[in-house]
Structures are given as C-alpha cells and as structure tokens.
Amino acid sequence: MTAGVAGCATAVLVSAPAVADSTVTVRGVGFPDDGLAQLTMVGCSALYDRIDEPLAPFIGRGAEGAPPPLGNRAVGYDLQGGNAVGSLHYVDSMADTTTAELSVYAGDGASGVAYAGIQAPADADSDDVWIGRASVSAPAGAWTRVQATELSYTWTKYDMVAQRALTTGPAPNATMEQVLAALGGDGPGFYTIGFGCDGARFSMDAWRIGTGGNVTSYDLEGLTTTTTIVGSQREVRAGEEVTLTGRLRLGMGDRLRRGTLRLEAKPVGGGEFQLVEVLEAAATDPSVVVRPAESMVYRFRFVDRPLAEGSFSESFRVTVVATEEQPELPQTPGPTESPTEQPSDSPSEAPTEHPSESPTATPTETPSQTPPTETPPTETPSAEPSGEPEPTTPPETEAPVPDEASATP
C-alpha cells in the first residue's frame, strides 16, 4: 500500500513491511566496502549543487514511544539546509532492483530529495547517465519508510565526469519503469535518498536494497567502545597512593577522537558511584593517583557520545588495611645530658633546716671521731650515697629534667 506525502506529490511512503533476507549492522558510519550501501551528501536542487558544510552525525535511540525500526539506535544529522544526507546504493540492474528505501524520523517533520540514475544501453561506452530527481518528505513524530523505486522523477542527462547537465527528457515526470522503456532497455545505476533540505533535524535507520527475495537491510547503530582499568596495588594503608590507569578504545581497536573517561568511586559495601575526576583519553591512556581513607571500589566510565556507545570498565577494589599498633612503653623521665657534669642553674631542693645526719666525707678528709658540727650541706650533693638510712622526709632529690625532654623515649 502506498500513500502520497503531503506537500510532495512525487514522494511515496511504504507502510507494508519489507522483506529482509539478511541484515548488516553498521557501527556509526562504517559501512561495508562492497559499495552496495554508502553514506552520501547531495544537493537538494540538483545532484551536484551542494553547499559546503561540515557533517557531524549523532547517534540516537529515537523519541519516547518511537524506537528505531531496527536495533537500538539510529544515525542522524542536523544540517544547515540546502543539502541532503542519506543512503546511496549502486546496483547492476535497475530493472531487477525492487527495493531501495530508508526509514526517517523527524520530530517536527523534514523534507528531502531522492535521485535515481540509469545508464542507457546506447551510452554504455560513455560517461553519460540519466538522473531523475524527486522531492520527498516525512511527517512529524513518526518513523516513515521512503521507497525510491516507486517514485516519479524529473529526468536530466549528465556527463558524470564533468558533473554537468547535457539535456532533459525523455519525459518530464516518469517512473523508473517508464524511463527504461523509453531508453530501450535495462542498465546499471544507483538510488539515493536523503533528508535535511529544510535544515530540520532528523534520524534515519533501516536502509534496504535488493531484488525480490534477496534484500539486504542495514541496521545503523553506534560505534562500540571498550573501557578497562588497571591499578598499581589492591591493598594499602589509609592515605597511601594508588595509581589507576584507564584505557578507551573503539570496537576495532582505534582511539576515539575527543574521548574522555570519568573516574568514579564508591565505598565498599554500599552507595552509588560518584564522579571523582574527568580525564582526557583521546591521545593517551590517562592515569590518576588516589589516596583512599577507607576501602573503595573504582571504575572508569565512557559516556555516550554523538557517534559512540558508552561503556564501563570492570570494578577495581582497593582495600584499606589497619595499621599495626606499636606496644605502649612505660613512661620514664626524659634523658638529660651528663647531669653530673653540668651543674644546675638553680639550688638544690634539699632543705637547709635539717642537715644530713651523716654527711659524706671528701676523699682527702679523715672522718672525725667527734660529733659533727651542724653545718649546711654543700649546694651540689655528692654523687654517691652516704651508706646511712635516707630520711623519709623530704623525698630524695631527683636530677632536674629539661623542659624540652619528652616523657617517653
């Protein structure tokens, strides 16, 4: 069943499901090298009347309630207007090609263009090709299939090498079947379908090309990525350094331009991963030093980009182990530097009111046989005990302790 598109009488939307004998998954815009399906940009007014503008594809999952027709994602563009981006299919036989289509989604609707090219049997040894142009459009808010084989085109003969128009005809508005009959036979050619002529943002998916029961479908998905993490050690004491290194690669092993990695962490045993730092990962594999105060789980994360799917590394656990406690030593007076050689700055704390009952004799003196005369003790006490019982009051004088000495070694 077919239905005309509003505003474009020549466009045809196909609602019946297409037969797909095989499906090719396309990562980003990495189409196979067989040439059967390629990404192209054409001019909207004429095939070669392109406007110079950069192309920045994005990957989307479709609007809410409007998932892509194949797989999980679709490729889209937001052009300036005047150009169209879409599918290009080269075929060996235009007569045998019964399916050449793509599905398009635009939140506010979008307009585009389709081209068909056929080389007539009489032009087989030249660079001349007949090219037909048809306007197409897509309604707002729904995936729409556009089938190029059933459109009516306005035809112009081109010199493909010089990229210039030669003549118009053979009919102002004709289908491929009518053109083949007018040209006298079948030949190789191409179909292309693109959107963006009005500058509206759009997404596309489910390209299909083929003949009868031999139709190939192209599922446009994002580039796959892999993210890994390596740590310098798994057990540390609180505050010790751990170096974490991340690695980001595309599915085919290449680096991702403008790629970044997020280092995320959470405590062991609960909680959600929280952002620690964002690191550049396009040119080198980034490293970062962490100093966990408790056992933590780390990971690197690559967030979805316009053309690449996100990925996570495996978790890397760092366990913080307890510090071994030192045995507590008894407190002793701090050491002094040669206390007997350095006289005290202050007088002895020994009382002067109660002299010692048995003062120590000096080495050159002979002990007297008479009771000693009561005299005050010298200011510096002898370094050796007297041999007599020591008085209980006052307590024995200790060597003074300098203020700077610690109470423990």
Q: What is the DSSP letter of 13?
A: E
Tell me the C-alpha distance between 132 and 117, whole Å: 6
Count of other CB atoms within 10 angstroms of residue 10: 18
Tell whether the model's pLDDT for residue 124 goes beyond 70.
yes
Tokens describing residue 155: 């035809």
**Domain range summary for the chain, segments of one domain joined by +:** 2-221, 225-321
Q: What pairing do the DSSP bridges indicate for beta strands 235-237 and 316-321?
A: parallel
pLDDT of residue 156: 93
Q: How far apart are CA 76 and CA 61, in angstroms?
A: 10
Task: Please state which CATH number belongs to domain 225-321.
Answer: 2.60.40.1940
The closest of 209, 206, 120, 216 to 160, measured between CA atoms, is: 120
Q: How distant, in Å, are the alpha carbons of 242, 261, 342, 406 from that of 276?
A: 14, 11, 60, 43
Q: Identify residue 321 by its one-letter amino acid code.
A: V
pLDDT (tens digit per residue) in 183-214: 999 999 999 999 999 999 999 999 999 998 89
Give SS3 for 337: coil
Helix (H) or strand (E) holding 84: strand 83-91
Alpha-carbon span 135 to 193, nearest angstrom: 10
pLDDT attached to residue 55: 86
> In the predicted model, what is the mean pLDDT of residues 54-80?
84
Alpha carbons 248 and 285: distance in angstroms, whole number: 7
10 Å CB burial of residue 125 (0-12, 13-18, 19+) is exposed
Q: pLDDT tens for residues 274-333?
A: 999 999 999 999 999 999 999 999 999 999 876 788 899 999 999 999 876 555 555 545
Tokens standing for 135? 């306007």
pLDDT in tens, 224-259: 899 999 999 999 999 999 999 999 998 878 888 888
Q: What is the mean pLDDT of residues 64-93?
A: 91
Taking CA atoms, 91 is separated from 34, 116, 123, 156, 214, in Å, by 11, 11, 17, 19, 13
Residue 341 has pLDDT above 90, yes or no: no
Token readout for 387 is 């041999």
What residues are paired with 262 via a beta bridge? 278, 301
